[in-house]
């Protein structure tokens, strides 16, 4: 399989396989670069993706997704140190864990608040009638 003809930022050749009939990988493909630049202009938020993701993940994690997606592209194009991307992913993972724990706690409290007072005070069993 052909590899990308673009140089990485440090001058060494990119070794990522090319996309389709092109001569560059998806990270170095000018068409993809335009898409990424456009995305940055929109404040790092692809609205349709953000809308879709907000249905399946906590809304506060949607911008984190955008940043990690950009980090992936930048690592593959040689524009970002993989160690920085690894550190960013680790912090993002910690954010997700804390946020999820908070959401579970919030749901439990909401369920407890819905319980009628009689059930909270003491359950009556059939043999107690």
* Interface contacts to Zn ion, rule CB under 5 A: 4, 6, 14, 16, 25, 28
28, 92 Cβ separation under 8 angstroms:
no
Write down the least CB distance from residue 59 to Zn ion, Å: 33
Write down the least CB distance from residue 82 to Zn ion, Å: 15
- Residues constituting the chain: 129
5, 24 Cβ separation under 8 angstroms:
yes
Write down the least CB distance from residue 24 to Zn ion, Å: 6
DSSP β-bridge partners for residue 3: 17
Q: What is the CA radius of gyration of the chain?
A: 24
Nearer to Zn ion, 4 or 64 (CB): 4
3-state secondary structure of 17: strand
Nearer to Zn ion, 31 or 104 (CB): 31
Nearer to Zn ion, 18 or 64 (CB): 18
Q: Which residue has the tokens 């335009």?
A: 34
Write down the least CB distance from residue 90 to Zn ion, Å: 25
Instruction: Copy the structure tokens of residue 129.
Output: 């009638």
Nearer to Zn ion, 24 or 62 (CB): 24
């Amino acid at each position: 399989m052909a590899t990308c003809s673009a140089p990485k930022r440090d001058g060494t050749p990119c070794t990522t396989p090319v996309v389709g009939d092109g001569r560059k990988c998806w990270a170095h493909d000018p068409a993809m670069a335009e898409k990424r630049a456009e995305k940055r202009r929109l404040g790092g938020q692809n609205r349709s993706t953000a809308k879709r993701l907000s249905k399946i993940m906590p809304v506060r994690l949607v911008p984190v997704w955008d940043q990690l997606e950009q980090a992936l592209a930048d690592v593959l194009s040689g524009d970002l140190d993989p160690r920085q991307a690894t550190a960013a992913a680790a912090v993002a993972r910690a954010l997700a864990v804390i946020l999820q724990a908070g959401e579970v706690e919030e749901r439990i409290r909401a369920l407890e608040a819905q319980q009628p007072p009689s059930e909270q005070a003491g359950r009556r069993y059939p043999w107690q009638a």
